[in-house]
Structure 1
Amino acid sequence: MTLSLDFAPLAAWWLLAIVCLPVAALVVWALVSRTRGAALRAGAATALALAIANPVINEEERAPLSTVVPLVVDRSQSQKLDGRPETTDRALDMLKDRLARFPQFELREVDAGVTEGAGAGAETRLFEALSAAIRDVPPSRLGGAIMITDGQVHDVPSGDETGLPAGAPLHVLATGRPDEFDRKIGFAQAPRFAITGKPVAMTYRITDTNVDESGAARVQIFLNGELVATETAIPGVETPLELELDRAGTNIVELAVDGLDGELTLSNNRAVAELQGIRENLRVLLVSGEPHSGERTWRNLLKSDASVDLVHFTILRPPEKQDGTPINQLSLIAFPTRELFVEKIEDFDLIIFDRYQYRNVLPSLYYDYIAEYVRGGGALLVAAGPEYAGETSIANTPLVSALPATPTGVVTARGYFPRISEEGRRHPVTRDLEGGTSEPPNWGRWFRAIDVDTPDGIVAMQGPDEQPLLVLNRFGEGRVGMILSDHGWLWARGFEGGGPHVGLYRRMAHWLMKEPELEEEALTASTDGQTLSIRRQTMADEAAPAIIRSPSGEEMEVALENNGNGIFSAQVEVGEVGLYEISQGEFSTLAHAGPVDAPEFSSMISTLDVLRPVAEASGGSIRRLLDDSGSLDVPGILPVRATASAAGGNWIGLRATEETELLGVSRYSLFSGFLGLALLLLVLAGTWVREGR
């Protein structure tokens, strides 16, 4: 309770001054001149002035305000190591119990290190969380702050700033042990883009922290999940690395170093770099037989792609043609058979035979070279015409071993709609081709098809009477595609509305050249912020659940939803930053959540050095929660005055606020009612008595 004197004048102060100042002057003159009764007249005038000024006594009822104490708990990824979660939770419970003994303290618990969005968890930002927690707290009500952390904090204020108001101590309670040691590996230099098939130069470094002496360490190098090399490296020395990307698009290079016995964590013994593979211009050899209407379709399609280097030959004059024309009068060039099919055949990414027939232009041995080229990993596309069903068919050469289908000798010549087969609806080459889902398909007809025996591989499209029209097959390490009609050019000319010839031909070419996105059986994964997206494409009707292995080693099983046409997918919210390994049967893939070089993984050993300057500058303290024996040692809590020390050997101090809250005010007027009237009558009566004498 607080008492104070105030005035509530019955008239304005200026009016009171006009009335009282002349009276006061007369009273002063009377007192100076020692006029009889001057004292009584002064008293009467004073009583009258006080009555008009109306003095009031205010009685305030106040309650003390609580002292706000934010308790910031580090829940970052590094705090999940080596028993730190248990230490944190036990210390938190003990601090809560001890703070509860002091009703003047208002605890605000803040979990920090758990953030949303892209890059979530990449940094430990405790001071940002502290600032948000005390944004609505006046500085005078803040008694101090407590942090439970491993000391690896990435938003520590710079210079002499503490992030707290003056006089508020910061106490840091550190988890972890002082004898921790760790090994990590990381890329020192890694490009973002690289050309496929050419050496890519990178460097990496192994860093041992708190390790007295260590020798060379074994490092395994993985490219897109497959082990490609194993080498040794010296810790602390930047080591060069050279490898070749085997595909365009996103490539993940992973390094894995052998761990040390008893080291803090193995999660940073792996490092990844994402490289975008860029394929150099594709070299395509197009060999056409006799000129026909569809020849220009292939040429225009391939020439329209700036990434394709096309070598095109058309057999205009076969060797058996003898018309007596002198050689020096011919404007044709000889077909460089040996150069193309012996010396430089490996330089081509794709060979296309467009209505080609065996007419002694190529020696029989060269067809065997082409078959071996495919067996070794090359790509062959055959666009068959009527010649394929006749005696000059390339099926009558040694190339037949690589061909997925042999002709029956029958050519069907009638109108039909090319249709996607049941297998083709799940195959990436023909899946979702524009206009192919309706019946009949929303595209033009073809009028010729070559009958074949039961083909090998996948029949992706069908012709008349459900005969094979597009066959895709693997041969050794390479691939072969066969179109059993030469009427694809009708789509290019827009006949009966045309058809998706560009999409179909390009998909075929890229499938033959092993583009990862067009694999029939593939498991891919990507991340967007904290969402992990898994996609499985398969020719099967069902897909088993996927197994996700987090950066900390935890595993979870996720069911894949059937999206139709051989696509199965799932989306999972993940809480850790780092490399996720997703496996499903014999397939596995990698996806990295958050920044590849996240500061959270740059150092994970608990430390007092990072926060010591800030804690000491605030008048607080920093200490470990575990003693030398590994036992939990939580300091006591004491309320202290603003000028007293805020820490001791086994205790920490919090400054109690002196702020109060006004609950109510009572006002008592001194000259109101009978009290004021009695005083005035008493003075006036005294003046009358004195004058009566």
Structure 2
Amino acid sequence: MTIEFSPFIPWAIIALLAVIALAIATLGFLRGMRGTAIRLAASFAVLAALANPLFLQEERDPLTTVVPVIVDRSQSQEIAGRAEQTDAALEGLRERLARFPNLEPRIVEVTDPGDTDTPSTKLFEALTAATTDVPPTRIGGAIFITDGQVHDVPGAGQKLGFEAPLHALVTGKEGEFDRRIEIIRAPRFGIVDEEQELTFRVFDDGSASNQPADVSVKMNGEDLGSVPATPGAETAFAFRVPRGGNNVLEFSVAGTPGEVTDVNNRAIHLIEGIRQNLRVLLVSGEPHAGERAWRNLLKSDASVDLVHFTILRPPEKQDGTPINELSLIAFPTRELFVEKINDFDLIIFDRYQHRGVLPILYYDYIAEYVKNGGALLIAAGPEHASEDSIALTPLASVLPATPTGDVHQAGFFPRLSDQGKRHPVTRGLDGSAAEPPQWGRWFRSIEVTGEAGDTVMTADGDRPLLVLNRAEEGRVAMLLSDQGWLWARGFEGGGPHVSLYRRIAHWLMKEPELEEEALKARAVGRALEVTRQTVGDAPGEATITTPSGETQTLPLTEIQPGLYRGERRMTETGLFTVTNGDFSTLVHVGAVDAPEFRAMVSTTDSLTPVSETSRGLTARLDDGDETIRIPDILPVRGEVRVADDRRMLIRLTDETVLKGVNTLPLFAGFAGLGILLLAVSAMWWREGR
């Protein structure tokens, strides 16, 4: 109860009247006038009535004590029965907290945040967010339900933001064990066919075992063998990048009996293969208008080392020119086609014919070069249908078609075949969708028969124009016309000669982006994008195996002929396996070194220092007998000074909320009138004497 004033007149006037009353009383006392004290008392009674004193009485209700309960629902909580322990502990806490009506639980479930590529468990961040609107004095304590793998634990000296105990109920079991593998150091780029080195480490969390572990290694799905590794020690692995573009290195260590999970027993590393100085041998035979088309294209690429020879003077030419006046460079046939043939990534014969420049045995060397993984392109003209055609040499064993001897001389629009519309070399060429195609005509094509492989472009009458084929380990392409230069010159609007020529060359050199049958997967943030490339029928659904072992199906939609794609946002983070038919690929969603997967063993060590500092309790829910034990809750008044090793102490708040105020004026009504009458009557009585 308090007293307040609500004056009827300003305080300045009341003060002035009080001064006047004191002055008059002082004068009366000095002159010895009788009744001065009573007059002074009456004056102050009147002044008190003018000041209007009020008695105030507040009505307050006690506030509840807020108890945040932070529940860890991260990915590490989904293994080894931890989710069931979490559910049981949460239900038990609800029941215990409900016994105390003055406790207000605030339950917050923390899941893997979907807006980050680096998943981690941040329970203290969630605790701060849950208590932002609550005064620190109302927080009686906080309770965590977690496996102990928390990645935002405050450091020494950092405050929680409230003075109350923090308790941790830890899922999992004592003495858990887990084996995992991590990539420590690895290059992001590598030169094709040059040796690279990667360092990885096998960890045995929760165990001091130093028994060697066998780590299986795969590159782009091909087995590279196994590497012995000592747990805890770094292991170096040397490898060669087999191809340009994206390459996937997969490391997997065999699981150990009793480990909590095997989802972290695999690790992948992506390395971009870079071709350094691609070596291309271009041999031009009979001079023609488009002789420089291939040369100009290849010379414009800074990554290509081009060796170009033009056969200007065949051996049979006898025009009487003295030898000492000839300035032609001798064709180094033995050096190119015997000694250094395997140094070339691609050999191109542009309108070349067998006229004695190359010994017949050398064509056999070229055929073996192709069969062993080399690439060969035949850009054919009329000479390919002649008696001197290289198709009549041992090179015929790797060529996908045989010339009939006919040359068609008529204008035609090069068109994509049905297979060409789906083949990555020709699919989507600018202008190919229209009929006729929106590019210029060609006027000559070479007729062939018995074509193998894929005919992706046709001339008039559906005759083959561009044929692609595999010959054992190598690849061969035949362009059955020498009219591509018309597109380069812009005849009738030209055509996509640069795109076509470049795609042919890259397909021959086995660029992954141009594989006819391929399954690719990539992570775009938290979304998994699957792309299936095929020249066959619709591939059907893709199957996704998540890090937790769950299997999902993903429909693939055709976005271009022969190109199918599907996308899905993933809730888990880690290594996913995507399969479709006989094809399989791996992709990692989220950061490879995400804290959530560095350790999966449950622990009390991370939260014990914080709970001890705040006089809280850290306890395992399962103490070894498969029974969930939840500590009792003990509310206490005042500051918590001593921790309890069996119960969770909750500090009850003293905070209240104002419900209303009762007001009683002292000089109102009969009470005030009586006091004033008493003062006046006393003064009158004294004067009467």
Tell me the TM-score normalised to structure 2 length.
Answer: 0.97
Q: Is the 8 A contact 1:224 1:590 kept in 2?
A: no
Q: 1:487 to 1:155 in 2, by over 3 A?
A: same
The one-letter amino acid of 1:176's match is G
Deviation at 1:31? 6.2
Residue 590 of structure 1 is matched in structure 2 by: 586
Match of 1:147 among 144, 148, 151: 144
The one-letter amino acid of 2:20's match is P
Aligned partners of 2:584, 2:375: CA distance in 1, in Å? 26
Matched, 1:524 2:516: no
Q: How does 1:190-201 map to 2 (within 5 A)?
A: 190-201=186-197
Q: 1:464 to 1:597 in 2, by over 3 A?
A: same
Aligned partners of 2:26, 2:530: CA distance in 1, in Å? 99
Deviation at 1:443? 0.5
Q: Is the 8 A contact 1:169 1:618 kept in 2?
A: yes
Deviation at 1:110? 1.4
Matched, 1:391 2:362: no
In structure 1, stretches of 5+ residues that fail to align are none
Deviates more, 1:498-507 or 1:126-135: 126-135
Q: How does 1:460-471 map to 2 (within 5 A)?
A: 460-471=456-467
Matched, 1:303 2:299: yes
Deviation at 1:24? 2.8
Q: How many matched pairs? A: 689
Deviates more, 1:637-646 or 1:244-253: 637-646
Aligned partners of 1:574, 1:44: CA distance in 2, in Å? 86
Structure 2 counterpart SS, 1:632: coil
Residue 669 of structure 1 is matched in structure 2 by: 665
Aligned partners of 1:644, 1:607: CA distance in 2, in Å? 26
Deviates more, 1:643-652 or 1:212-221: 643-652
RMSD: 1.6
Aligned partners of 2:299, 2:381: CA distance in 1, in Å? 22
Matched, 1:282 2:278: yes
Structure 2 counterpart SS, 1:414: strand
Structure 2 counterpart SS, 1:447: strand
Deviation at 1:374? 0.9
Structure 2 counterpart SS, 1:297: helix
Residue 85 of structure 2 is matched in structure 1 by: 87
Aligned partners of 2:246, 2:470: CA distance in 1, in Å? 24
Q: Deviations over 1:319-373 (max 9, x none)?
A: 1112232323211111111111111111110010100111111111111111111
Q: How does 1:351-390 map to 2 (within 5 A)?
A: 351-390=347-386
Structure 1 counterpart SS, 2:412: coil
Q: How does 1:237-386 map to 2 (within 5 A)?
A: 237-386=233-382
Aligned partners of 2:28, 2:144: CA distance in 1, in Å? 74
The one-letter amino acid of 1:355's match is R
Q: Is the 8 A contact 2:118 2:595 kept in 1?
A: no
Matched, 1:73 2:71: yes
Q: Deviations over 1:644-678 (max 9, x none)?
A: 34642331111121111122223221112332222
Residue 405 of structure 1 is matched in structure 2 by: 401
Aligned partners of 1:75, 1:597: CA distance in 2, in Å? 20
Aligned partners of 1:254, 1:33: CA distance in 2, in Å? 113
Matched, 1:580 2:576: yes
Residue 474 of structure 1 is matched in structure 2 by: 470
Deviates more, 1:264-273 or 1:499-508: 264-273
Q: Is the 8 A contact 1:151 1:606 kept in 2?
A: yes
Q: 1:639 to 1:657 in 2, by over 3 A?
A: same
Structure 1 counterpart SS, 2:356: coil
Q: Is the 8 A contact 1:407 1:453 kept in 2?
A: yes
Aligned partners of 2:132, 2:431: CA distance in 1, in Å? 60
Residue 7 of structure 1 is matched in structure 2 by: 5
Q: Is the 8 A contact 1:225 1:590 kept in 2?
A: no
Matched, 1:209 2:199: no
Aligned partners of 1:88, 1:422: CA distance in 2, in Å? 58
Q: Is the 8 A contact 1:120 1:530 kept in 2?
A: no
Q: Is the 8 A contact 1:161 1:614 kept in 2?
A: no
The one-letter amino acid of 2:398's match is A
In structure 2, stretches of 5+ residues that fail to align are none
Aligned partners of 1:602, 1:21: CA distance in 2, in Å? 82
Q: How does 1:615-634 map to 2 (within 5 A)?
A: 615-634=611-630
Q: 1:450 to 1:344 in 2, by over 3 A?
A: same
The one-letter amino acid of 2:606's match is V
The one-letter amino acid of 1:240's match is A
Aligned partners of 2:152, 2:108: CA distance in 1, in Å? 16
Structure 1 vs Structure 2: percent identity of aligned residues?
A: 56
Structure 2 counterpart SS, 1:79: helix
Deviation at 1:233? 1.7
Q: How does 1:82-231 map to 2 (within 5 A)?
A: 82-121=80-119, 123-165=120-162, 167-231=163-227
Aligned partners of 2:647, 2:669: CA distance in 1, in Å? 59
Aligned partners of 1:64, 1:405: CA distance in 2, in Å? 94
Structure 1 counterpart SS, 2:297: helix
Deviates more, 1:60-69 or 1:11-20: 60-69
The one-letter amino acid of 2:75's match is Q
Structure 1 counterpart SS, 2:93: helix
Deviates more, 1:21-30 or 1:565-574: 21-30
Deviation at 1:35? 4.6
Q: Is the 8 A contact 1:411 1:448 kept in 2?
A: yes
The one-letter amino acid of 2:22's match is A
